[in-house]
């Protein structure tokens, strides 16, 4: 299995994503935002950072980059797509995930470890966690308030698309939502950083199981 790790001007978590993929026992390569194809890749990781300086709004400029059509094609093919922080913002901007990310209610940049509850452990990204298990991932964002309409939320609930919730909401996200998947379950977006939670010596290794789950799920379907 080989992951593409996208790089935009302003990405700053691409190396963390790359290392998390390698730690999961798969290949990974950096892919420039100007590329127009993801042929040869089995999944794509969209890292955090400040793509294009968050000009206009977070993820807006990246959403029209040449690589995004290839991301949509890969997702349509059922391959795994993980977007974290700015990557989550990009996934909502290109329509692969519903909702939007707004400024934190505090209007402050929040950077700290947060406790998260795994509210759905039946996805390709969470199936190695226990239901309602609490895990710790770092957060680092200024626009992490997940917004959706009541109708959108009802759809997310009905389709079991909400996978993570904050125990102590740091940004005002609707109903404490920290991470979601698409209806098909192969596209995942979250504001917390699992790729920064892979070494216990750094404070938490709660993210290891998320990457392992993603890899194992792909192998079960393709090997």
Instruction: Determine the average pLDDT of the residues in 12-20.
Output: 97
**Residues 13, 29, 85, 103: which is the catalytic one?**
85
- Domain with 72 in it: what CATH number? 3.40.50.880
193 catalytic, yes or no? yes
Q: What is the pLDDT of residue 58?
A: 95
Q: Tell me the percentage of the chain whose pLDDT exceeds 90.
A: 97
Residue 13 falls in the annotated catalytic set:
no
Query: Which member of 29, 151, 193, 220 is catalytic?
Result: 193
Can you say whether residue 25 is alpha, beta or left, with left for phi > 0 and alpha for psi between -120 and 50 degrees?
A: left
Q: 105 to each of 136, 170, 171, 219, how far by Cα in Å?
A: 22, 8, 5, 40
Q: What average pLDDT does range 181-205 have in this prediction?
A: 96
Q: How confident is the model at residue 222 (pLDDT cuts 50, 70, 90)?
A: confident
- What pLDDT digit, counting tens, does each position of 38-59 carry? 999 999 999 999 999 998 899 9
Number of domains in the chain: 1
Say whether pLDDT at 120 is over 80: yes
**107 noted as active-site residue:** no
Confidence (pLDDT) at 135? 97
Q: What is the pLDDT of residues 144-175, one digit of tens each?
A: 999 999 999 999 999 999 999 999 999 999 99
* Interval 66-106: pLDDT, tens: 999 999 999 999 999 999 999 999 999 999 999 999 999 99
**Domain assignment of residue 50, given as a range:** 2-222
Q: Which of 29, 188, 195, 220 is labelled catalytic?
A: 195
């Amino acid at each position: 299995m080989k992951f593409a790790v996208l790089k935009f001007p302003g990405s700053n978590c691409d190396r963390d994503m790359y290392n998390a993929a390698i730690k999961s026992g798969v290949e990974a390569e950096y892919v420039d935002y100007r590329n127009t194809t993801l042929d040869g890749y089995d999944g794509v990781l969209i890292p955090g950072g400040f793509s294009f300086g968050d000009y206009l709004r977070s993820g807006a400029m990246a959403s029209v980059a040449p690589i995004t059509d290839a991301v949509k094609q890969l997702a349509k093919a059922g391959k795994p797509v993980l977007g974290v922080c700015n990557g989550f913002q990009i996934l909502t901007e290109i329509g692969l995930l519903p909702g939007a990310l707004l400024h934190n209610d505090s209007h402050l940049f929040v950077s700290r470890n947060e406790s998260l509850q795994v509210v759905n452990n039946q996805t390709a990204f969470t199936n190695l966690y226990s239901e309602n298990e609490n895990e710790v991932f770092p957060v680092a964002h200024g626009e992490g308030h997940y917004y959706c309409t009541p109708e959108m939320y009802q759809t997310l609930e009905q389709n079991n698309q909400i996978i993570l919730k904050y125990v102590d909401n740091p940004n005002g996200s609707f109903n404490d939502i920290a991470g979601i998947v698409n209806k098909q379950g192969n596209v995942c977006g979250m504001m917390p950083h699992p790729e920064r939670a892979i070494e216990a010596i750094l404070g938490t290794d709660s993210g290891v199981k998320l990457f392992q789950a993603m890899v194992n799920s792909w192998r079960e379907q393709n090997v």
